[in-house]
Structure 1
Amino acid sequence: MVLFTKKNDNPLMKINNLKLIVFYKKIDYIYKIYQKQFLLNISNNYSKSKMSNQNTDKKRYNCINENESYVIKKKTKLIPKINRENLNQNNINHYFSSKIKETDQNLNDDIKSKGSHIDTINKTDISYTKIIEKENFKDIQDKRKEHLDVTENISKINLIDTKNIIKTFSEENNSKDCHINKVQIIVTWNMNSITVRYKNKEKWKEFMNFFNKINADILCFQEVRLPALNLSDCKNNNDNVMRDRSKVKNTDQKSLVDFQIMDTILKNDFKNYNAYFSLANIKYSGQLVLIKKTIQLKSVRYNLSFNLDSNIHHDEGRVILVEFSDFFLLSTYTPNNGFDYTKFERRRLFDEELEKFVASLKNKKPLIWTGDLNIAPEDIDLSHPAEFRRMKKNDVPKEFIGQPGCTDFERKNFKKILSSGDLVDSYRYFQNLKSNKEDNKNKLNINENIYTWRCPFRIGKLCNKAMRIDHFIVSKNFLKNIEKVEIHGYSVFHNNFYGSDHCPVILYLKNIDKHDNTDNKFIQQK
């Protein structure tokens, strides 16, 4: 068989032809081995059958004529008669052995002849491989240089494109921040227990209708009255127990009920908001700030000192400060002044700390200070100023005489805070409210929406009396960014109070331009 009829000088083709020859030789060699194995199997099988049938043949042979040419076996099968000489086992084995030896000899001869061919092929392969490797190495080096040049050019182009993409992406993000992720509406509300409000299904439904209608970006809730999670076992609410004030307690049967209610509220009613808690040891005080998940914030602080870690909470959960790109939002539940010296001192310390804190914020960013501040700054903020101003318990100095929230002591401290932080009462500014002594003597405007707290009792000294003590106090240089401030509740029948003794207050912001530095002299004059 002629495999190659045409001369080919290509070294790769020669190597392939030689490999093909070796392949056919290997097939022939394997065939010879299988032939040898086959002959051995036949020899062994024949020997076994001969030994087993030897006795039977002898018996039957005596019963027949010696001249017959067939021998009778089982099942009346006739087979040709074989000479005794040829039936000898040694002769048969000798025959097969000779055949096997002959096959072995042929195999050995083939192996010797093929071995020389294989050596020749291997040597040829090596020589051709070396030649090809040298040629390929040169080609690879040339291609590598070309590839490096191309890669360098592509990298330069990609670097320019990447810079342009990053620039475009940042511009898009900035534009989105301006129109989508900016704070537009903030609501503050003293709930007087969030779980109690939720259990009154009718009132809660009314509140959720209001909430869904205005679509507030931030909700600041005071007096949520949820206990903080204790981090160790304790039988009583002692102050030495470590607590996580950013989480609601769920370690006993009573607290678990409130925890489950709060979990339901956050998952169903406020699922698009991130929740920030600051809670007291027991069901007292405490705050919750809800911020839309689409709004980016920079930091959250739970105390009134930059010398403390931001995650250290006020013991009664009265402070949450949120930093945004354009302003700070401070929500406080300011302590009630009460009627005794212990409460007076607590309020004084809180106001002094707050004054220093807002002064430190003044040169950083504008501030929006909101919450239940427990202060009616002027008599016009009282429904019955004469009655409110003379209330007292026991003998106390003159500056402490009056309903908590309207004493001279509290008003003096409040003015210091406004002055230190360069702050202004935004509602007073936009409503142009002015104190009028003649009007203050009469019970006027009791049903108008100018008060944020109304006495929850239908009988008693404070029946139908009201105060404006929930506020949005803002930096003077930030007033230009405020559209309006609304008090949501009205009437002695507590319309829009949703079961609490306080009503929501709403601040509407314009689109904020952080580079707008309008002169504020006209604000100070007003």
Structure 2
Amino acid sequence: MKRNVLLTDFFKKVENPKATKIPKVTVVSRVPETIRLMAWNADSLLNRIKNKETAKEIAKVVKDHDVNVLCVCEVRMACESCSSTGAIDRVNSNQGAERDLVVNFLTRQCGFDQLYFSLRNIKQAGVGMFMRKMPKPDRVHFKIPGTEVGGDGFHHPEGRIILADFASENLQLLLTYVPNNGWTEDSFAKRRRFDCEVKSFLANAKSQGERIIWLGDLNVAASWNDVGPNPAWFRRQKQSPGLCDDDVGQPGFTQAEQNRFAELLEAGGLIDSYRQCHHEEDWEKDATWRGAPGKPPNPPEFGRFYGKGMRIDYVLVPESMKDDILSVENLGIGKERKGFMGSDHAPLLAAIKVSQPAVLSEDPVGDTSHCELASRGSMERDVETPPSEVVELDD
């Protein structure tokens, strides 16, 4: 049996004819007082979900930790091809069966009722922000506001950004999959442009007193002790004639990247929530990325990066919210990648106090039920003016 779901019906109030109409004053807040955020580079969310054991592990982690917002880098689903208008639909995949598999898993097994995607036109990169037990954002962007991205003008062309704006709470969630620094002058320049755009956005937001939580795979190890077991080995990589000293080193561990990252934190008035909770640096426990083992029949040690790791995934919060960081956990550990859920990145889980219930409203007793509906991925570029599209979900 199929059921139609109107995308504009998120959290539509359901009238209960049997409700007792006794006025009751309740304290309500649009955003939960504490939200649980998970940042995870899935190294292909599609492949993780195709594996039944891994899919089961993902759903269990989401439910056991009561995750409100899951931010995924490397979704790796190709977006819809060009329409008759020449526009590319970057919130829907052109692979029907794969799209259905991902959406059904996220909604039915994980319980997410809001799905936001920004996809590339090939199976690379792509990010997704999935929400449960959360109100709809007032506005959603798929690029850094104010930047020129070409194409449809709404999405970063490589699907690297989602910004959910809960304006009524003065809270924005910024998910980015930062480009790898690479090994060429062109890739260096691409990364510098990305960092510069984010820096301008963060500085402007800070000047306006806006609260931004920035999370995702930021592709930089902030300090010497955020890689291991031998930081000097990472810094010796990419030794090329004529290369600027600041660009020498493994991508994600060059001095230039670290300098720009420090500038980004300062510009946005942000702090590293993980380091705020874990002052003692221990790369074995801290690393969110671990190298791959050698391919059979070779032993694991044949892998060039096996046994090595970097801390390059973050949840960054405004300094003003320092005391609101309740906990931050790296859910994976070790060269065997225990808890990595099939990826080469571990999930990072943060519990942050973001809201104080302060709005009084009158509701009749018993008339407080809400209908939480699942979508096939938000079709909205601006959720203040959502389209009236209907999707079909199999029961």
TM-score range, shorter chain: 0.7 to 0.9
Runs of 4+ in 1 over 6 A off after TM superposition: 307-311
User: Are 1:319 and 2:186 matched, yes or no?
Assistant: no
Q: Which amino acid aligns with 1:221?
A: V
Between Structure 1 and Structure 2, the one with more strand by share is: 2
Q: Which amino acid aligns with 2:131?
A: I
What are the residue-to-residue correspondences of 1:91-240 with 2, within 5 Å?
A: 172=26, 175-177=27-29, 181-232=32-83
Question: Kindly tell me: are residues 183 and 244 of structure 1, through their superposed partners in 2, closer, same or farther at Cα, counting changes over 3 Å?
Answer: farther
Q: Which amino acid aligns with 2:190?
A: R
Q: Deviations over 1:234-281 (max 9, x none)?
A: xxxxxx9520111111xxxxx233223223323422444200001111
3-state DSSP of counterpart to 1:332: strand
Give how far 1:421 is off.
Answer: 0.9
Structure 2 unpaired stretches of 5+? 1-22, 294-299, 359-395
Question: Kindly tell me: are residues 465 and 511 of structure 1, through their superposed partners in 2, closer, same or farther at Cα, counting changes over 3 Å?
Answer: same
- Name the counterpart of 1:329: 173
Between Structure 1 and Structure 2, the one with more helix by share is: 1
User: Are 1:406 and 2:242 matched, yes or no?
Assistant: no
Q: Which amino acid aligns with 1:199?
A: K
What are the residue-to-residue correspondences of 1:436-455 with 2, within 5 Å?
A: 448-455=284-291
Distance in 1 between residues matched to 2:115 and 2:179, nearest whole Å:
23
3-state DSSP of counterpart to 1:492: coil
Distance in 2 between residues matched to 1:364 and 1:298, nearest whole Å:
18
Distance in 2 between residues matched to 1:267 and 1:211, nearest whole Å:
12
Q: Is the 8 A contact 1:485 1:506 kept in 2?
A: yes
Q: Which amino acid aligns with 2:47?
A: V
Question: Kindly tell me: are residues 412 and 177 of structure 1, through their superposed partners in 2, closer, same or farther at Cα, counting changes over 3 Å?
Answer: same
Q: Is the 8 A contact 1:183 1:217 kept in 2?
A: no
Question: Kindly tell me: are residues 284 and 204 of structure 1, through their superposed partners in 2, closer, same or farther at Cα, counting changes over 3 Å?
Answer: same
- Name the counterpart of 1:349: 193
Distance in 2 between residues matched to 1:326 and 1:182, nearest whole Å:
13
Question: Kindly tell me: are residues 275 and 398 of structure 1, through their superposed partners in 2, closer, same or farther at Cα, counting changes over 3 Å?
Answer: same
Q: Is the 8 A contact 1:326 1:514 kept in 2?
A: no
Give how far 1:397 is off.
Answer: 1.7
Give how far 1:353 is off.
Answer: 0.5
TM-score (norm 2): 0.76
What is the aligned counterpart of 2:319 among 476, 496, 499?
A: 476
Question: Kindly tell me: are residues 373 and 514 of structure 1, through their superposed partners in 2, closer, same or farther at Cα, counting changes over 3 Å?
Answer: farther
CA root-mean-square deviation? 2.4
Distance in 1 between residues matched to 2:135 and 2:158, nearest whole Å:
27
3-state DSSP of counterpart to 1:496: coil
Distance in 1 between residues matched to 2:248 and 2:347, nearest whole Å:
29
Q: Is the 8 A contact 2:239 2:249 kept in 1?
A: no
Distance in 2 between residues matched to 1:216 and 1:210, nearest whole Å:
8
Higher relative contact order (CA 8 A, sep 6+): 2
Distance in 2 between residues matched to 1:367 and 1:349, nearest whole Å:
21
Give how far 1:393 is off.
Answer: 5.3
- Name the counterpart of 2:90: 245
3-state DSSP of counterpart to 1:495: coil
Question: Kindly tell me: are residues 489 and 425 of structure 1, through their superposed partners in 2, closer, same or farther at Cα, counting changes over 3 Å?
Answer: same
What is the aligned counterpart of 2:227 among 364, 376, 382?
A: 382
3-state DSSP of counterpart to 2:37: strand
The structure number with the bigger radius of gyration is 1
- Name the counterpart of 1:265: 105
Give how far 1:306 is off.
Answer: 3.6
Distance in 2 between residues matched to 1:274 and 1:220, nearest whole Å:
12
Distance in 1 between residues matched to 2:174 and 2:292, nearest whole Å:
27
3-state DSSP of counterpart to 2:90: strand
TM-score (norm 1): 0.58
Distance in 2 between residues matched to 1:272 and 1:474, nearest whole Å:
24
User: Are 1:419 and 2:255 matched, yes or no?
Assistant: no
Structure 1 unpaired stretches of 5+? 1-167, 234-239, 250-254, 435-444, 516-526
Give how far 1:479 is off.
Answer: 1.3
Question: Kindly tell me: are residues 462 and 307 of structure 1, through their superposed partners in 2, closer, same or farther at Cα, counting changes over 3 Å?
Answer: closer
User: Are 1:391 and 2:237 matched, yes or no?
Assistant: yes
Q: Which amino acid aligns with 1:487?
A: N
Q: Which amino acid aligns with 2:109?
A: D
> Share of identical aligned residues, percent?
32
Question: Kindly tell me: are residues 298 and 286 of structure 1, through their superposed partners in 2, closer, same or farther at Cα, counting changes over 3 Å?
Answer: same
3-state DSSP of counterpart to 1:512: coil
Give how far 1:379 is off.
Answer: 0.9
Distance in 1 between residues matched to 2:188 and 2:134, nearest whole Å:
42
Give how far 1:509 is off.
Answer: 1.6
Q: Is the 8 A contact 2:111 2:132 kept in 1?
A: no
Q: Which amino acid aligns with 2:118?
A: S
Question: Kindly tell me: are residues 203 and 465 of structure 1, through their superposed partners in 2, closer, same or farther at Cα, counting changes over 3 Å?
Answer: same
Distance in 1 between residues matched to 2:105 and 2:74, nearest whole Å:
16
